[in-house]
Chain A
């Protein structure tokens, strides 16, 4: 789904659009350019994968898209709003209301139960999903009272996804979500993300160095040395069960 529909919007720049974005760290002679005038678009409700080797600038893209960092130059449009121009406070509200994060290392609060970790997110967002429902949706309805240390890695990542989805975000940002997981568990997580995208219509942006994942995406953006190498759409994404790495 989504691909053709979103393609129709590609003309006006897409739902998410990086427009000549540059991000430099440091200044003067020691300045490092992580992104060098990058331009690409991503589609609403689509499963987008940004792929590239280490040091390509993937994380910087994620930081900018997640409202965790500001661009040195250029614009980042999300749903028509330039979030690269937002102030600190507005960026915080953007993170709170519009973005769900899934981290490589789950980043659950160790001292809170699964349910409470989800509540942590829903607590600060109006119109959020009931935390218990969010956990049930990721298949953890029976483990709400467990602490992270009592859950497996895959389960912890599911809690993290539930925490992200409970906010009913427009955008689900995933940073190497399978990076710390084994093959089978990793596939389970990818399936869950794909389902969330299809059933809830949430726009997924997944960042990885693992090119094997790309066939499951609706759109793939390849980044190298701070520049876009290629943008490709999959007319018919491969089901996760057929993907191997």
Chain B
């Protein structure tokens, strides 16, 4: 077998460019799948490690009535419970830059939810606290400084604290907050801004508000998985049984459904009940997890395209190679080598290139991508840096897929040749016969096609496989580019649409108390344009056990709301100008809940009031969820007038004076909201850029490979053309015209496929508080088209040298 082995090795050394191009395509395929999947896995891994390492709770049990030592013991006695940690959790206002912002305070953890101390020390007495870094920065605090809990006004949390002025002793990072989202509160606008930790002695409460529970089973399960979620539901059921038993023993009502938002501690609860929340109920954990799965889904779509194209490329490349070697193969067969050993030689050539490229793709992908992507997401999460091990399972699957794709293509290519008799192989193959193309069936059209156009049309359809392959290559590139750009457009447009078409006010002021005549007069002097008082509060919208956290907005004068928040139907575009006979829900929430006009939903306010209301309509909205009521409907439903607690402002206003105003809790300017939104969409933008770069690399390799095949396969024809007196440029046009025509067709197909793909990807990556408008700008279409064309032109230019260097003497030789 020595000469056979030598011949096999020489296959590689004789056709280095071909070997390299197969390897590069395999590399791109595996790199894209392994890289993005690895990023997703690495991000989940770091979460799993962090959750376990910090002893994160599995279930949080809340009680409006509070937990006594007996309650805690009952929970600890539930089989499977590893640890229980009774805690105080109370929300309060603090002053940050003259504005009152809602902050959540926790008692220092003991055993579970371990804090990371970033600076200073933990609080050691009732008058001390540790805060998160964001509060240090935005509140301008320093270690040793004083953080004052603002007087509670009507909120009623004042008696929960021993001291209202706390010394900041340290900066901590809590495992409960891994994203920038802080969740919701019953205070103010309903959006929580900060968190802080107090010494347990800092609370003047008789009973614990919450008990964190960790389960023994949890450590053995991958924490960011469906398996964990299923287990968590089991744990909740087990704990609820104990809770119900405890409640029954005390002669109380059984536990009701869980509430997502810890309120302001024990106050005016309608009935003492325990509620159970898993991590999945926490907005922070949920959105982190959703982000990683979004990434994973994107990571499935793109590699599919890559694999499809690489299949076609290797098929064409290997077919060409086997065709070129038919004489050599004939000699091997004539010498008595079997078909399978000949096929094996080419299959191992292909396998070697795919394996080499695949291995490079695995290491580049898993080493490079996760870091880039995690870096992009980095400022959205507070997570330790990821580790980037090679994801063995995915890597093996991707390698196996790319090797088998190439080997399969090679065997298919070999089949024809190895089946032939050696004598046929040694004889040169007759050139592919010319054929009429379907266009000729339409004489009126065909007659109008110029001579060169006819040649181009014939040649395009002459090599069908290469035609489809080029088409797919270009189409894949254009589709990926359009998807990349479309993703970016849609992300960008969320902010534009939300703040340009829906929320069209300039600022919103949250009030500390009732908007009485004096308050209105003083605020009126500081706002120079339009202003509208409204009530905004946290609400849960529930139907059939599915819940959404939303903001309920009730304007004082519904007729004027349109100047600040435009409510219109996403389908007809028609505005909801009149006060609705029920609640208007925003589109994403209504769609996810599966409700439409006329359906009944339950609204539950932070204070516990619960009403059923008919859906009066569905309104377009892109960010967060809202419910709207007319003032009359509010009063009828809740039996109380909607006391305004916020003020929509349009036009000029005196921001600094408003913030200094005692009646103003906080002022939120639209420009800030846009900036926050831009930050979070930037991360996805980085993923988009990675994909665009990959798409370009793919397009280049495919087109380069094809153009070279096109030239080598037609050397004799091109040499003849040159002898006939075609100038270099004319000869180039003779071949490139085809590339251009196929490129144009490929772009058309690719743009159509891209529109579908971008829709699919956007649906996959959407998170629950966002609705992505499926929007691709004209610029993106043009860029995708231009870049695809530029590649064809660039590749043509790069291969021009090969074309002009074709020796005319080739034309005198016999058929290859």
Which A residues are closer than 8 A to B by beta carbons? Answer: 59, 62-63, 66, 68-69, 89, 92-97, 99, 101, 103-105, 107, 109-113, 116, 119-121, 123-125, 147-150, 163, 167, 175
Contact = CB atoms under 8 A, between A and B. Distances in A.
Contacts of A119: 451
A111 B432 CA distance: 8
Nearest to A100: B724
Contacts of B133: none
B727 A89 contact: yes
A154 to B, nearest CB: 17
B429 to A, nearest CB: 12
A93 to B, nearest CB: 7
A147 B435 contact: yes
A111 B462 CA distance: 7
A222 B717 CA distance: 31
A69 B724 CA distance: 14
Contact of B432 (A89, A93, A107, A110): A110
Contact of B434 (A68, A99, A112, A120): A112
User: Across chains A and B, which 5 residue pairs bring their CB atoms closest together, nearest first?
Assistant: A96-B725, A149-B433, A147-B434, A95-B725, A111-B434
Interface stretch (B3-11, B183-191, B277-285, B805-813): B805-813
B336 interface: no
Contact of A123 (B451, B716, B717): B451
B725 A125 contact: yes
Contact of B811 (A69, A96, A103): A103
A155 to B, nearest CB: 14
B812 A59 contact: yes
Contacts of A148: 433-434
B455 A116 contact: yes
Nearest to B431: A110
Contacts of B146: none
Nearest to A123: B451
Contacts of B431: 110, 149
B809 A63 contact: yes
B458 A112 contact: yes
A149 B430 contact: yes
Interface in B715-751: 716-717, 720-728, 730
Given A93-B725, A95-B723, A96-B725, 9 more contacts: A69-B809, A92-B726, A96-B726, A97-B725, A109-B434, A110-B432, A111-B455, A119-B451, A149-B433
A69 B451 CA distance: 29
Contacts of B435: 111, 147
Nearest to B812: A175
Nearest to A176: B812
Nearest to A107: B720
Contact of B723 (A68, A89, A147): A68
B459 interface: yes
Nearest to B432: A110
Given A92-B725, A147-B434, A104 B455 contact: no
B454 interface: yes
B812 A103 contact: yes
Contacts of B432: 110-111
B235 to A, nearest CB: 72
A116 B727 CA distance: 19
B140 interface: no
Contact of B726 (A101, A124, A150): A124
Interface string B426-470: 000011111100000000000000011011001100100000000
Contacts of A167: 725
6 contacts: A96-B725, A103-B720, A103-B811, A105-B813, A110-B717, A111-B458
Contacts of B809: 59, 63, 68-69
A148 B431 CA distance: 10
Nearest to B462: A111
Interface residues of B, number: 32
Given A111-B458, A111-B459, A147 B724 contact: no
A124 B451 contact: no
A131 B455 CA distance: 16
B242 to A, nearest CB: 82
Interface in B396-435: 430-435
A121 B434 contact: no
A167 B724 CA distance: 10
Contacts of A147: 433-435
Nearest to B459: A111
A135 to B, nearest CB: 15
B433 A92 contact: no
A113 B434 contact: yes
A55 B721 CA distance: 26
Residue picked from A69, A120, A121, most chain B C-beta under 10 Å = A120
B717 A116 contact: no
A112 B455 contact: yes
Contacts of A149: 430-431, 433-434
B529 interface: no
B725 A107 contact: no
Contacts of B220: none
A95 B730 CA distance: 14
Contacts of A62: 812
B736 to A, nearest CB: 16
Given A59-B812, A110-B433, A124-B730, A66 B723 contact: yes
Nearest to A175: B812
Nearest to A119: B451
Nearest to B730: A124
A104 B433 contact: no
B814 A105 contact: yes
A145 B716 CA distance: 23
Interface string B51-92: 000000000000000000000000000000000000000000
Nearest to B725: A96
B756 interface: no
B454 A109 contact: no
Residue picked from A68, A107, A113, A120, most chain B C-beta under 10 Å = A107
A123 B724 CA distance: 11
B724 A121 contact: yes
Contacts of A95: 722-725
B434 A104 contact: no
Contacts of A121: 724-725
Residue picked from A97, A99, A109, A147, most chain B C-beta under 10 Å = A109
A132 to B, nearest CB: 13
B669 interface: no
B812 A104 contact: yes
A161 to B, nearest CB: 13
Nearest to B430: A149
Given A105-B815, A107-B811, A110-B434, A116 B451 contact: yes
A121 B720 CA distance: 11
Contacts of B723: 66, 68, 95, 101, 107
A107 to B, nearest CB: 4
Contacts of A104: 812, 814
A118 to B, nearest CB: 11
Contact of B725 (A105, A111, A113, A124): A124
A173 B812 CA distance: 12
Residue picked from B432, B720, B809, B811, most chain A C-beta under 10 Å = B720
Contacts of A92: 722, 725-728
Interface in B360-400: none
A172 to B, nearest CB: 13
Nearest to B726: A124
A167 B726 CA distance: 13
B466 to A, nearest CB: 13
Contacts of B727: 89, 92, 96
A187 to B, nearest CB: 22
Residue picked from B435, B458, B724, B726, most chain A C-beta under 10 Å = B724
Nearest to A149: B433
Residue picked from A96, A148, A167, most chain B C-beta under 10 Å = A96
Given A107-B811, A147-B433, A101 B724 contact: yes
B776 to A, nearest CB: 39
A124 B455 CA distance: 14
